[in-house]
Structure 1
Amino acid sequence: MYERLAEKLKTTSAVKWFPGHGAEESWIAEVEEELGFLLPPSYRWWLIHYGDAGLGDGNILAIAAPEHREYYDGDLLYIHRLNLTEEWWVRRFPHRLDLFVPDSDELYFFDTSARDNQGEFPVMCYDLMNDLIDVYASTFAEFLERLIDERS
């Protein structure tokens, strides 16, 4: 199902990951339980097969082992919990789940209010300089392929 993406990941130098660092299914289930919804299928595939990865100037958020989650700023749930402490942020972006926060003027997040019939959330790009939000990709797999193409 994700053969094209897997092939790109084999040949790209834009994404750096460490084999054998994928998330366990039980970790993902625990995160989904706290979030109150299932993560998109392509992102789950990524988490299990690749897990933690650097992409240029940032990390794609992953799911850490539960015993490390409260100390790892690359963990999806850790960042989500931090975002929930900012009331103004929650009011403005109630359906935002951060995905990739590079060291630049943009951030990428799932819009959890817009699940498609395959269970995927669109990935949004928030241009911080211009305060604009646009759809960047319709799925996590498309998001990752587009970033690889742009940065290769």
Structure 2
Amino acid sequence: MYQEVIRLIERAGVAFPPLGNGVSQAAIENAETVLGFALPKSYKWWLLNYGGGQIQADIVYGLDENGMGRPDLIELAHMNEQDGLYDRERIVFCMGNAENFVFDTENLDKNGEYAILLHEISGGEEIPYAASFVEFLQRRITEVCRA
């Protein structure tokens, strides 16, 4: 499954760091401790291998392990919670122009994945989008990059 995603990322020219330039396992464990829940299995794979990036104009939040000012999932979650935009059950991991994509942390499946919801900002509606983070990558890259 991951090999297909790697090929899709390479073929579409997605703005992710080169494969293998992600964050450390320690950074992921720290994020899980700070956030208070386990991150989805395929998102952890992506963090270890890529760490962050963009799909066209969509920012896919990773972890700013080295304090370089990269889009950081923990920082975004804290800002959203402080501003009353999202609570701990809805963690934004990708921001587009008119929509956000969130982990539905109330629904962890047997494979260690959270359902992905598309939150339309203007209407406030949440729509099921993908069953896992890797499925999100496949769908979003295909839609946005016409890969």
What corresponds to 2:102 in structure 1? 109
Q: What TM-score, normalized by structure 2, do the two folds share?
A: 0.90
In 1, the alpha carbon distance for the partners of 2:141 and 2:58 equals: 13
Question: Are 2:75 and 1:78 equivalent residues in the alignment?
Answer: yes
What corresponds to 2:40 in structure 1? 40
In 2, the alpha carbon distance for the partners of 1:147 and 1:134 equals: 14
- Cα RMSD between the aligned structures? 1.6
- Preserved contact between residue 21 and residue 52 of structure 1 (Cα < 8 Å): no
Q: 1:96 aligns with which of 90, 114, 117?
A: 90
In 1, the alpha carbon distance for the partners of 2:77 and 2:122 equals: 22
Give the SS at the match of 1:22: coil
Instruction: Give the gaps of 5 or more residues in structure 1.
Output: none
Q: 1:124 aligns with which of 112, 117, 142?
A: 117
Question: Are 2:2 and 1:5 equivalent residues in the alignment?
Answer: no
Q: What TM-score, normalized by structure 1, do the two folds share?
A: 0.87
Deviation at 1:21, TM superposition (A): 3.3
Aligned length: 144
Percentage identity across aligned positions?
A: 28
- Preserved contact between residue 63 and residue 70 of structure 2 (Cα < 8 Å): no
Which consecutive segments of 4 or more residues in structure 1 shift more than 4 A? none
Letter in 2 for 1:127: E
Distance 1:5 1:53, change over 3 A: same
